[in-house]
Structure 1
């Protein structure tokens, strides 16, 4: 599979799934615009894809700022001529029940997980309409499909991403723009062991997740990236408006 003529924007590109997505697209020959907030991690991610002979740029900012989203898309078009693919991977998690979720928890979760997806998707679609189409892949979550205890804001935000994906896919189906969501379960990334209210050893968190998955293991970021790259490929051009669980059978029960 090659993406040698593609220009790909990836938000949340400096760690976890987003960083794996940049590696996967770089390996297929795409040009990349990496979006993140941390300069040091961003520079490492940029140098990593450049070692694969990938043309790449790094842009730092807040995905929840609509002006920043517009700026990234405009920059990408000026630098590379178009935007072929957008991967919305930026996100945060707050591990609290609804009763324990503060106003700030709720606002910050929706800013990062929903507003950022909307602003970048809106700006990208407008560009794709002018250049003949493209693909958007949103990194949602299986808990946006089935829910989970102690993750009220996160579940609600990822559920919103799933329905935004479906609505936008219908809006733009006749414009050669495909829009899909990838819904991972537990993935071996820093987020898996982050934001717990009480200290828990990383290996204990991993064990608990493994016990809940029919396949008996958590996914790797590379597996999520592989599905993402496929959904942005010509082979997937008749797939749009879907939310694909990739969770070892968790949502099959």
Structure 2
């Protein structure tokens, strides 16, 4: 007599938002809202403490935030499975990632408000030259290092895609990190800050184009035009924002003269 067995991954049930409290016998860490509050408080305490410790070294606060993320993540404290499953369980990462992306969107929106497009047009040539110089040397160094590391990668990896990936990885600019540093140093509204932000934006656009090329060269099971469609969709979003959202914002600014 034979029996058929079906094996598969069992999905964990979604977390409820709030608990009835400790006195009702509930563990607050099993619910989304209390756990998110604990995670945010833990991140703030660790990053602020590191910022205080790094202040004599005159390091920007974003460095403390990066180091704090490494300490709280799987590279340091996350190696303790009890801590990882209690404070940062996999089922809670969706909420935490959503909050992080919302914060990043709001921060970049505030950083964009500080930029003046008219002043950026006057320095277009210098911005382009800085962006080209900023991406060329790291990209060349990335390709050079990929030849050294080529013996360590798995067999069957597309060499061309690997070269482009390494070049992009070393040449791309962390735009949010740069904006955070300039804002903390109060350089975001200066001519140097505007030029740096504009050059970083041009740098990121070029890097994403090269990344799309690397995805197309990797030859995965998907269509090689997927990355092209993603890039064209992003361009369409930018054009749509300029043609529709920008006039709406100008109209709103005219209605609020004060």
- TM-score clears 0.5: no
TM-score of the two chains, using structure 1 as the length reference: 0.26
Quick check: which one's helix share is greater? 2
TM-score of the two chains, using structure 2 as the length reference: 0.26
